[in-house]
Amino acid sequence: MTLKEFFESAGGPVALGFSGGVDSCFLLWAGKHYGADIRPYFVKTAFQPQFELEDARGIADFVGVRLNVIELDNLACRDIRANGPDRCYFCKRAIFGALEKKAKEDGCVMITDGTNASDDLSDRPGVRALRELEVRSPLYECGITKDEIRRMSKEAGLFTWDKPAYACLATRVETGVEISADILKRIEGAEEELKKLGFWDLRVRVRSGMACLQLKSDQFERAASMADRIKAGLSPYFKKVLLDLDRR
């Protein structure tokens, strides 16, 4: 099956769980390109940084569709807040449950997401939630890989074509450590400061209350030379800053 065939067989408006990432942005463009009534829904929680919403708005404007934003307090759910091994399952259930409710009210006949053929679905709690909710994954079903998505995104003129993969802020907190709105804001602030200093494709993980910076190996030397500036920039968020020398 091709994406064109997938969208032609939809039979009505298609809701898209829209993250602002490479995959869902390309899928939004493809749906519009192939004539589908595709409607992006961005579910805003404490786990998504502001720049993801801004990217989502930018792509929606570029494609020429209206972005639907749903506010969700996922930290109100104890199973999500507790940050156990199945946190992603409960979070996906909450996010796509909220999306499903709104999409049905809007007359959508199908819910889709940006899972692609390069994703390993063998042991992902979030995927289990998507299957339970009968969410369709056109990119996966059509065998489209990440490399192909980036190539076609570039050809389509999408600014997200080379956007680094980005996991939600909750992944920065160790499993079993309760997640709070405060720690998520501190992580987001610290990552934004690093971007202002010229770093990219990074993570600020929290270990025993300290910020542990995960950078690409070719940024290590630069980070070491800017140690004082990094410490100063991150001081409003973390008292202690470490550099993880393992390749991410």
In this structure, the answer to whether residues 43 and 140 fall within a common structural domain is yes
> What is the CB-side half-sphere exposure of residue 69 using CA atoms within 13 A?
13
Across 209-214, average pLDDT: 95
Domain for residue 149, yes or no?
yes
In this structure, the answer to whether residues 146 and 214 fall within a common structural domain is no
pLDDT tens digits along 155-189:
999 999 999 988 999 999 999 999 999 999 999 99
Domain for residue 174, yes or no?
no
Across 192-203, average pLDDT: 94
Q: Examine the pLDDT at 112 and tell me if it is beyond 60.
A: yes
Domain for residue 98, yes or no?
yes
In this structure, the answer to whether residues 143 and 186 fall within a common structural domain is no
Averaged pLDDT score across all residues of the chain:
95
Domain for residue 221, yes or no?
yes
Alpha helices in 64-180, H assignment, sequence order: 78-81, 87-105, 125-132, 138-141, 146-156
pLDDT tens digits along 14-39:
999 999 999 999 999 999 999 999 99
Domain for residue 236, yes or no?
yes
Domain for residue 169, yes or no?
no
Residue 221 C-alpha from the chain's centroid: 28
In this structure, the answer to whether residues 218 and 115 fall within a common structural domain is no
pLDDT tens digits along 42-69:
999 999 999 999 999 999 999 999 999 9
Domain for residue 168, yes or no?
no
Q: Give residues with Cβ within 8 angstroms of 231, minimum separation 6.
A: 241
Q: Which residue has the tokens 């987001």?
A: 188
Predicted TM-score of the model (pTM): 0.92
- Domain membership of residue 188 as a residue range: 180-244
In this structure, the answer to whether residues 136 and 63 fall within a common structural domain is yes
Please report, rounded to a whole number, the percentage of residues in the chain having pLDDT higher than 70: 99
Per the structure, how many domains does the chain have?
2
